[in-house]
C-alpha cells in the first residue's frame, strides 16, 4: 500500500506537471494501441488506482473492455481480463511475455539474483529445472514429508489447547507460524537444528524485507527518478539486507559443518533426506553443473521460497476456514468425507487427499474466489500484436485473475462459494493453468509457480486436519454466528480482519499419539 510520503510526492509531481505541461492528445495515427482512459501529464493513470489495484483495474475493464492500455507514471502497461485475450498473451505469445519487470527494491534485496523476477534466460531456466527436479520435486517433497506432518500435528495440538479452555484463537497467526515453520525446516533444518534462535531471526528479517519489497518506489514508475532516492529507501534496504546477509552466512557455515559431520557417520546404503539448503550447497560445489550457484544465488532463493510459500498459503487457509464457518453444511459434508476415509482414530494424512474429492473441490473454490495472487505480472521482450493492437516491447502486462474469477461469463453465480462447481468431471480444471485460461491460481506456462505441489500439499492436509478435529464458534455480538468477509488492502488480497474464533473439539477423545509425539 502506498504510504503517505509517496502520496505527497505524487501530488507535487502532478501539481508541477499540470502547471508546466498541457495535456497531450493521444496519438493513435502511427500505431494502434488498445483503448485507454484519459491520462494526466507525468503521472499517467496512477490516479485511477486504489489500494486494491485489482478492483480498480476491474472497474476500468468494465468501461474500456477486457484489453486496455495504461501508463503508470512513465511505464506503459496493458491489462487483460478475459480468458480468450489472456490465452493470446500467455500461450500464443508466451516467449514474448516470459519476462517479469525489474522492481528496484526486490532487485536490491535479492542481490540482483532473484529467481522469481530473473529474465527469461539461462539462469532462470536452470533454476526452474532445479526446482522441478530436485528442490521442489516429488522425491524431495516425499523425503521431507515428516516435517510437514510434524508441523500440522503441532498446529492441531496448539488449537486443541485453546479448545480445552474455550479460548479464542487467532487463526491467521497460528497458520502463519505453521507455514513459516514448514518452510524454515525444509530449507535449513540441519543448519539450524542447534540454533533455533537464528532461524527465528531469519524469519523476522525476511518479513521485514518482504514489507520493504512491496513498498511503492518512485524510481520504478518515473524515468526521471531513476537516479534519485527520493523516499530514502537506499539506507533502509542496505541495513536490512546486511543483517540478513550476516545471519545467513553464519547459518550456511554451521550448516556446512553439520553436513560434513553427518557425512562421516551416515550409512552409504541409507537414503538421507537432505534439506533444501544442503541441496543448494551441493550444487554450488558441483563443477559439472551448467550454472555454478553463488552464495548470493542461494540466499536469494531462500528469500523467494519464504516470500512465496508462507503468507500466500496462510491467506488461502484463513479464507477457506472463514467460508466454511459461514457455510456449515459444506463444513459438515467435508468432515463426513474425511471421517469416511480415516475413521475417528487417526489424523488425516497427505496420502488420504486423493480419496477426498470434495475437500479438493473446496480448495479449488477457495483459490478461485480468494486467490492470494489476484494478478499475474509479466513484461514484453519485443513488439507484438494482440487482437489487432500493437503492444510495444517493455510493456508491463497485468492479467487480472481476480476479475476473471468474478465474471459471470466465465462462472455461474461467481460470487457464491460453491465447491460443487468443481465436482463435475467436465469442470475439474487444471490448477496449473496449462489449457484452460478461465482458472489461473498459480499462473501459467513457463513462469507458472514452481511450488504448486508443495502449496497444495500444505493447503489440503492442514485444512483437512482442521476440519476433522474442530468445529468453530464465532464470538462477538451482532454477528449471528457469521464471519465478516471484508477484503483487506494490498496485492495478496488478505482478509481485512484476522479470523478470530473459538475452536470446539470435534474428535473426543483426540488420539494421544498425535498430540504428544
Residues within the annotated binding site for heme? 449
Beta pairing class for 375-379 and 169-170:
unpaired
Q: What ranges in 214-232 are assigned the alpha helix state H?
A: 218-221
Maximal CA-CA distance, the chain: 76
CB–CB of 103/71 below 8 Å?
A: no
The residue ranges of DSSP E strands in 81-196, in sequence order, are 169-170
Q: Which residues participate in the annotated binding site?
A: 449
CB atoms within 10 A of CB 262: 13
CB–CB of 378/396 below 8 Å?
A: yes
CB–CB of 73/43 below 8 Å?
A: yes
For the chain, what is the radius of gyration of the CA atoms? Answer: 24
Tell me the three cell numbers of residue 468.
476433522
Degrees to nearest 5, angle at CA 45 with 41 and 47: 100
b/e map 224-259, b = 16+ CB within 10 Å: ebeeeeebebeeebeebbeebeebbeebbebbbebb
Q: What angle do helix axes 452-469 and 171-192 make, rounded to 10 degrees?
A: 130
d(CA 137, CA 115): 17
Tell me the three cell numbers of residue 148.
510437514
Q: What are the phi and psi torsion angles at 176 (to 5°)? A: -60, -40
487 has which bridge partners? Answer: 495
Would you say the C-alpha torsion 199, 205, 210, 213 has a positive or negative sign?
Answer: negative
d(CA 74, CA 125): 30
d(CA 387, CA 385): 7
Beta pairing class for 375-379 and 384-386:
unpaired
Cα-based distances in Å from 224 to 8, 41, 95, 169: 17, 14, 30, 49
Q: What angle do helix axes 328-342 and 357-369 make, rounded to 10 degrees?
A: 140
Tell me the three cell numbers of residue 2.
502506498
Choose among 492, 71, 103: nearest CA to 312. Answer: 492
CB–CB of 347/148 below 8 Å?
A: no
Helix (H) or strand (E) holding 76: strand 75-80
**Could you tell me the end-to-end alpha-carbon distance of the chain, in angstroms, rounded to an integer?**
42
Amino acid at each position: 500500500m502506498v504510504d503517505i510520503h509517496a502520496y505527497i510526492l505524487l501530488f507535487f509531481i502532478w501539481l508541477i506537471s499540470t502547471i508546466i505541461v498541457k495535456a497531450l492528445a493521444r496519438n493513435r495515427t502511427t500505431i494502434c494501441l488498445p483503448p485507454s482512459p484519459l491520462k494526466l501529464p507525468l503521472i499517467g493513470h496512477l490516479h485511477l488506482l486504489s489500494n486494491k489495484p485489482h478492483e480498480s483495474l476491474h472497474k476500468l475493464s468494465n468501461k474500456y473492455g477486457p484489453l486496455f492500455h495504461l501508463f503508470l507514471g512513465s511505464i506503459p502497461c496493458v491489462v487483460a481480463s478475459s480468458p480468450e485475450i489472456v490465452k493470446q498473451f500467455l500461450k500464443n505469445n508466451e516467449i514474448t511475455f516470459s519476462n517479469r519487470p525489474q522492481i528496484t527494491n526486490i532487485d536490491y534485496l535479492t542481490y540482483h539474483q532473484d529467481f522469481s523476477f530473473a529474465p527469461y534466460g539461462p539462469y532462470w531456466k536452470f533454476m526452474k529445472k532445479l526446482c522441478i527436479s530436485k528442490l521442489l520435486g516429488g522425491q524431495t517433497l516425499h523425503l521431507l514429508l515428516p516435517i510437514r506432518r510434524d508441523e500440522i500435528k503441532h498446529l492441531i495440538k496448539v488449537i486443541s489447547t485453546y479448545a480445552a479452555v474455550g479460548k479464542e484463537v487467532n487463526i491467521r497467526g497460528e497458520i502463519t507460524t505453521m507455514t513459516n515453520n514448514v518452510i524454515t525446516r525444509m530449507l535449513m533444518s540441519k543448519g539450524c537444528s542447534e540454533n533455533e534462535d537464528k532461524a527465528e531471526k531469519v524469519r523476522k528479517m525476511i518479513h521485514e524485507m518482504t514489507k520493504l519489497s512491496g513498498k511503492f518506489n518512485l524510481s520504478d514508475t518515473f524515468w526521471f527518478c531513476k537516479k534519485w532516492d527520493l523516499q530514502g529507501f537506499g539506507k533502509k534496504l542496505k541495513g536490512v539486507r546486511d543483517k540478513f546477509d550476516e545471519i545467513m552466512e553464519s547459518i550456511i557455515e554451521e550448516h556446512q559443518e553439520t553436513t560434513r559431520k553427518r557425512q562421516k557417520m551416515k550409512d552409504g546404503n541409507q537414503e538421507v533426506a537432505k534439506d533444501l539448503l544442503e541441496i543448494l550447497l551441493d550444487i554450488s560445489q558441483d563443477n559439472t553443473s551448467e550454472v555454478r550457484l553463488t552464495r548470493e544465488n542461494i540466499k536469494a532463493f531462500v528469500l523467494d521460497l519464504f516470500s512465496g510459500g508462507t503468507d500466500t498459503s496462510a491467506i488461502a487457509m484463513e479464507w477457506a476456514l472463514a467460508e466454511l464457518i459461514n457455510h456449515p453444511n459444506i463444513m459438515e459434508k467435508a468432515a463426513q468425507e474425511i471421517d469416511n476415509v480415516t475413521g475417528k482414530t487417526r489424523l488425516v494424512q497427505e496420502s488420504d487427499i486423493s480419496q477426498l474429492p470434495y475437500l479438493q473441490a473446496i480448495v479449488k473454490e477457495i483459490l478461485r474466489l480468494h486467490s492470494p495472487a489476484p494478478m499475474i505480472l509479466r513484461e514484453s521482450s519485443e513488439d507484438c500484436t494482440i487482437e489487432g493492437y500493437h503492444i510495444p516491447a517493455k510493456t508491463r502486462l497485468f492479467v487480472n485473475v481476480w476479475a476473471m474469477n468474478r465474471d459471470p461469463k466465465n462462472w455461474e453465480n461467481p460470487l457464491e462459494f460453491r465447491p460443487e462447481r468443481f465436482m463435475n468431471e467436465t469442470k475439474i480444471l487444471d490448477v496449473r493453468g496449462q489449457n484452460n485460461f478461465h482458472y489461473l491460481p498459480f499462473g501459467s506456462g513457463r513462469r507458472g509457480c514452481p511450488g504448486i505441489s508443495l502449496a497444495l500439499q500444505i493447503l489440503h492436509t492442514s485444512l483437512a486436519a482442521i476440519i476433522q478435529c474442530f468445529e468453530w464458534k464465532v464470538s462477538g455480538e451482532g454477528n449471528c454466528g457469521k464471519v465478516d468477509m471484508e477484503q483487506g488492502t494490498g496485492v495478496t488480497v488478505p482478509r481485512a480482519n484476522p479470523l478470530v474464533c473459538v475452536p470446539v473439539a470435534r474428535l473426543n477423545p483426540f488420539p494421544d499419539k498425535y498430540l504428544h509425539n
